[in-house]
Chain A
Amino acid sequence: MNSKKALSLIEVALSLLILILIIGGVLGIFSYGFSVIKNSAEKLTALNLARYTLEEYFDWGKLDEVDGSLSDGVNNGVYTLSSISVNGISYNRTLIIQDGPVNPTELKEVIVNISWGGGKFINVATLKANY
């Protein structure tokens, strides 16, 4: 048997395939990195808009009038707020008011839901008391 036998087509094809797979893997890591950064940027924006909303509805009075009528107490419900567009993405804001763990007329749990393209969302919750 000749020990200096040339590489067969299969061997060359296989080695090229392995090379392409390795290069593809390296490029894939970069493309994954870009998508992670894009997600982080969107989440950071959403988190700041959640804070925006919580600061906007900081007062008990503001929570009282979110249903359109003032001085009737803070009513539980899901309220759609105006959406905000940042970095070319529209972020939808929803305010969810539900009873707090105790004393439900005077203590409410306020959840801010920020949702954007492709079903992504974050929820930020806090308690608001009227005492």
Chain B
Amino acid sequence: MKSFTLIEIMIASAIFALISLMMGGIFISTQEAQKRQRDKIELLEEANWAMEFMCNELRQAQLNSIPLNWNRDFIRFRSRTGSIIRYQRDPLQNSLLCRCEGGGGCRCSLPASNTAQITQYISNINFQRPAGKNFVIITFTLQKGGYSYTLQSSVRPRN
């Protein structure tokens, strides 16, 4: 039985190491790609949900409760039933977008019965009611894991 020479073992080890490195690299890159895809899908779902939520509630708002030329990073309006609703970023945790009902602070990072979190990935938001228009333009950007996504829509308060 002829044994392997040192050269043969070294070459075999080198090839094995190369293949292992290559497979490891592919494994890591597919893992990262999968995570990026998950982040993007989550961000799209979150953006869709946040926009639907705000549009549905603003659609039932009282139009006159939103001043003309409104162009701010938060909005305050009267709901159909007359209660005051605010959408604004949490002053303590800037990536949270909160919905607050009634007076007082608007911090959804703290447990409170009158506040709720709309999304946790907000990086920019703007509410605008253009002069002479009866609709509100909502524009926001969500950010997660190096990926950002902007969504813009408009809604006409019906009440």
Q: Residues of A contacting B55 with CB < 8 Å?
A: 51
**Are A52 and B37 closer than 8 Å at their CB atoms?**
no
**Are A44 and B151 closer than 8 Å at their CB atoms?**
yes
- From A30, A55, A58, B30 is in contact (CB under 8 Å) with A30
Q: Residues of B contacting A59 with CB < 8 Å?
A: 134
Interface size, chain B (Cβ < 8 Å): 25
Contact with B along A34-60 (1 / 0, CB 8 A): 100100110011001101100110110
**Docked CA distance A123–B142 (Å):** 26
Q: Residues of A contacting B150 with CB < 8 Å?
A: 45, 86-87
Shortest 9 CB-CB contacts between residues of A and residues of B: A48-B153, A52-B154, A30-B33, A55-B156, A55-B154, A37-B40, A58-B156, A52-B153, A55-B135
Contact with A along B38-49 (1 / 0, CB 8 A): 001100100110
**Docked CA distance A53–B101 (Å):** 29
Q: Does A84 reach chain B (CB closer than 8 Å)?
A: yes
**Are A41 and B149 closer than 8 Å at their CB atoms?**
yes
B148 closest partner in A (C-beta): A87
Q: Residues of B contacting A48 with CB < 8 Å?
A: 51, 151-153
Contact with A along B18-60 (1 / 0, CB 8 A): 0000000010001001101100110010011001000100000
- A87-B149 contact, Cβ under 8 Å, with A44-B48, A55-B135, A56-B154: yes
Q: Does B75 reach chain A (CB closer than 8 Å)?
A: no
**Are B37 and A37 closer than 8 Å at their CB atoms?**
yes
Q: Could you tell me which A residues sit within 8 Å of B by CB distance?
A: 23, 26-27, 30, 33-34, 37, 40-41, 44-45, 48-49, 51-52, 55-56, 58-59, 84, 86-87
**Are A84 and B155 closer than 8 Å at their CB atoms?**
no
Contact with A along B121-156 (1 / 0, CB 8 A): 000000000000111010000000000011111111
**Are B41 and A37 closer than 8 Å at their CB atoms?**
yes
**Docked CA distance A21–B152 (Å):** 42
Q: Residues of A contacting B30 with CB < 8 Å?
A: 26-27, 30
Contact with A along B49-84 (1 / 0, CB 8 A): 001000100000000000000000000000000000
**Are A44 and B155 closer than 8 Å at their CB atoms?**
no
Instruction: Choose among B33, B135, B152 the residue with the greatest number of A CB atoms under 10 Å from its CB.
Output: B152
- Min CB gap A78→B, angstroms: 22
B136 closest partner in A (C-beta): A55
**Are A55 and B155 closer than 8 Å at their CB atoms?**
yes
Q: Residues of A contacting B151 with CB < 8 Å?
A: 44-45, 48, 86
**Docked CA distance A23–B22 (Å):** 11
Q: Given contacts A26-B26, A51-B155, list 14 more A-B pairs with CB under 8 A.
A: A30-B34, A34-B36, A37-B37, A37-B44, A44-B151, A45-B150, A45-B152, A48-B51, A48-B151, A52-B152, A52-B153, A55-B155, A56-B135, A87-B150
